[in-house]
Amino acid sequence: DVKVTQSSRYLVKRTGEKVFLECVQDMDHENMFWYRQDPGLGLRLIYFSYDVKMKEKGDIPEGYSVSREKKERFSLILESASTNQTSMYLCASWGGQGGNQPQHFGDGTRLSIL
Amino acid sequence: AQKVTQAQTEISVVEKEDVTLDCVYETRDTTYYLFWYKQPPSGELVFLIRRNSFDEQNEISGRYSWNFQKSTSSFNFTITASQVVDSAVYFCALSRTSGTYKYIFGTGTRLKVLA
């Protein structure tokens, strides 16, 4: 089974801090994704990466950046955390061809910005 | 533009009742994939099913069944004889068959199964 591991289940940070959320997958997948989940809005794509050092903006990239230095690790960075970034963050990986394989998700990180 | 609508925000049923979760999608693509995921209280999204646009056969897996109707752009999910363990948020998602394979998620339906 694919294992996607997010470094923290719960995280509390202060406004203005630089925050790192880490995600590691163990299946040598090329594609990795970061989503945020908010009540009534579902999951929205922040950034994704289709290869090492390659990244593309998703639907809501403002206030975030990402890093993919190694294939198995995809980091989400909040450059200067703000209270409106309090949310559930989900990482996913995908290694299929033609879109017919499902994305595999981590357990999520509940981030609170005070 | 692609869009997925899950109009039911929250559903409550009593254990052993059947329940159907609705999913309506919009896409201009002629080929696409549809997915259902379950998110239990623990938080992780668990993959349930994938359906491609060429295959309109209904699918049954134990107490779960899925009804895909291209004519109405719907991909509904039915749980038969619901159990408390079915309590979760369920997401429907749409993806393309080429390009970046981004998922478009619906807003989810919270299902509460009461004992």
Q: What proportion of chain B, given as a percentage, has pLDDT over 70?
A: 97
**pLDDT at residue B60 in the model:** 84
Q: Is B109:B9 a contact under the CB 8 Å cutoff?
A: yes
For residue A96, what pLDDT band results from cuts at 50, 70 and 90?
low
Dump pLDDT digits (tens) for B26-35. Answer: 999 888 999 9
* 8 Å CB contact of B98 and A99: yes
Tokens of B90: 């369920």
A104 lies within 8 A of chain B by CB: yes
Chain B residues whose C-beta sits inside 8 Å of any chain A C-beta: 6, 9, 33, 35, 37, 42-47, 50, 52, 91, 95-98, 100-103, 105-108
Minimal-distance CA residue of chain A relative to B7: A40
Residue of B2, B24, B52, B100 best to disrupt the A interface, most CBs of A under 10 A: B100
Residue of A73, A49, A109 whose CA lies nearest to B101? A49
For A47-91, the pLDDT digits (tens) are 999 889 889 999 999 999 999 999 999 999 999 999 999 999 999
DSSP string, A30-80: SEEEEEEEETTTEEEEEEEEEETTEEEE-S--TTEEEEEEETTEEEEEESS
Token look-up 């981030």 returns A111
Task: Say how far residue A11 (Cα) sits from the centre of its chain.
Answer: 14
Nearest beta carbon to residue A98 from set B9, B97, B103: B97
Q: Report the pLDDT averaged over residues A29-46.
A: 93
Say if A64 is an interface residue toward chain B (CB within 8 Å): no
- Does residue A103 contact residue A93 with C-beta atoms inside 8 Å? yes
